[in-house]
């Protein structure tokens, strides 16, 4: 029975234009950010490699010849592009409640737990699909505008790709949970976008200026950015040679991982946020009257 419910849920998503309507800006944003950050990284490396700057880096004990600055662009591009799978997940249940198709969904399933389980599985798959598209677009953009010496090796690229896909899956599920709590598709979208792009960035700015950056890693956006940002920082530092300790926080901030923990711990923290919203939405949907 669960298999049939999964097929039904998958058809619901593929028979509407929402998935490709959001996939197009997802790929364009991922590609555009990767092109832009790769270009910026190339110009920075050109400046650092100039004769005057070379003398300064030698005095600071820094060796920029092995700097894989492209990983920072990859991390930032993945972070911004995963906003769209989050919105896609946010509309999973709120759209059905708004259009009252949730009634048919619940009446044709053995119980609501089965219906929501099928939806969970389908949106995990969609999160992975969006993640693969994001990683592919980011990789293409970074390769086009970055010098080959600034790119990660195969192991590094696989690590970035892995956390990129994981970020997309978790962001999609985070959206599903928030959407289950809010019956309005517009309200769900606005709340998710405003919080992730504006409100939490303001909170992070306040925390960093108050010498409390370690709290950033516990926030939703800070923890999910810590997935890619921590991996990017580790890859960069592992090949950069001697880097002063004072610069490590700066590098983590550039990667979007200021105050974040290791990638696996950041993933667990964001998974906890996702589980809280998903279980809250699950409970609200279980109690909801259908007409």
Q: How confident is the model at residue 58 (pLDDT cuts 50, 70, 90)?
A: low
> Which DSSP category does 51 fall into?
H
Residue 13 has a pLDDT of: 84
Question: Dihedral of the CA atoms 226, 232, 234, 238 (nearest 10)?
Answer: 180
User: Over the Cα atoms of the chain, what is R_g?
Assistant: 21
Output the pTM of the full model: 0.90
Region of poorest pLDDT, from 75-79, 189-193, 274-278: 274-278
- Judge contact between 137 and 27, C-beta under 8 A: yes
Which whole number is the average pLDDT over 185-209? 90
pLDDT band, residue 6 (cuts 50/70/90) = confident
If one compares 96 and 271, the residue with the highest pLDDT of the two is 271
Domain holding 26, by residue range, is 2-287
Cα(162)–Cα(136) distance, integer angstroms: 12
Q: Are 229 and 75 in contact (CB under 8 A)?
A: yes
Residue 26 in contact with residue 134, Cβ under 8 Å? yes
What integer pLDDT is reported at residue 50 of this predicted model?
Answer: 67
Alpha-carbon separation of residue 3 from 15, 119, 220 (angstroms) = 18, 11, 32
More reliable by pLDDT, 105 or 142: 142
End-to-end CA distance of the chain: 24
Nearest in space to 276 (alpha carbons), one of 145, 124, 128, 170: 170
Location of structure tokens 């309200």: 187
Q: What is the DSSP string of 165-180?
A: HHHHHHHHHHHHHHHH
Confidence of residue 290 (pLDDT cuts 50, 70, 90): low
* Cα separation, 86 vs 118, whole angstroms: 18
Q: Which residues contact 26 (CB under 8 A, 6 or more apart)?
A: 81, 84, 85, 130, 133, 134, 137
- Tokens (6 digits) for 30: 């991922």
Model confidence at 111: pLDDT above 80: no
Nearest of 80, 76, 74 to residue 142 by alpha carbon: 74
The answer, yes or no, to whether residue 60 has pLDDT greater than 60, is: no
CA distances, 200 to each of 205, 246, 256, 260 (Å): 8, 25, 13, 14
Q: What is the pLDDT of residues 235-266, one digit of tens each?
A: 888 876 666 676 777 888 888 888 888 999 99
How many separate domains does the chain show? 1
Tokens of 253: 């901030």
Mean pLDDT across 95-117: 76
pLDDT band at 1 (very low <50, low <70, confident <90, very high): low
């Amino acid at each position: 029975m669960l298999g049939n419910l999964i097929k039904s849920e998958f058809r619901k998503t593929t028979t509407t234009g929402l998935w490709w309507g959001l996939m197009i800006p997802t790929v364009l944003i991922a590609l555009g950010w990767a092109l832009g950050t790769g270009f910026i990284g190339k110009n920075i490396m050109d400046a650092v490699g100039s004769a005057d700057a070379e003398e300064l880096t030698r005095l600071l004990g820094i060796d920029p010849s092995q700097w894989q600055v492209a990983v920072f662009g990859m991390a930032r591009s993945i972070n911004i592009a995963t906003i769209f799978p989050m919105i896609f997940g946010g509309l999973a249940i709120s759209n059905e409640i708004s259009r009252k198709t949730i009634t048919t969904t619940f009446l044709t399933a053995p119980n609501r737990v089965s219906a929501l389980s099928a939806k969970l599985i389908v949106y995990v798959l969609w999160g992975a699909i969006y993640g693969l598209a994001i990683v592919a677009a980011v990789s293409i953009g970074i390769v086009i505008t970055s010098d080959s010496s600034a790119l990660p090796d195969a192991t590094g690229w696989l690590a970035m790709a892995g956390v990129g896909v994981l970020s997309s899956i978790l962001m999609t599920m985070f959206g599903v949970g928030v959407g289950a709590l809010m019956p309005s598709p517009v309200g769900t979208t606005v709340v998710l976008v405003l919080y992730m792009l504006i409100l939490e960035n303001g909170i992070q700015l306040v925390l960093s200026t108050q010498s409390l950056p370690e709290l950033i890693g516990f926030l939703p956006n800070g923890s999910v950015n810590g997935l890619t940002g921590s991996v990017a920082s580790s890859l960069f530092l592992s090949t950069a040679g001697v880097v002063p300790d004072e610069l490590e926080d700066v590098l983590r901030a550039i990667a979007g991982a200021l105050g974040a923990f290791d990638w696996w711990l950041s993933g667990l923290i964001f998974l906890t946020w996702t589980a809280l919203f998903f279980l809250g939405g699950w409970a609200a949907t279980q109690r909801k009257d259908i007409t």
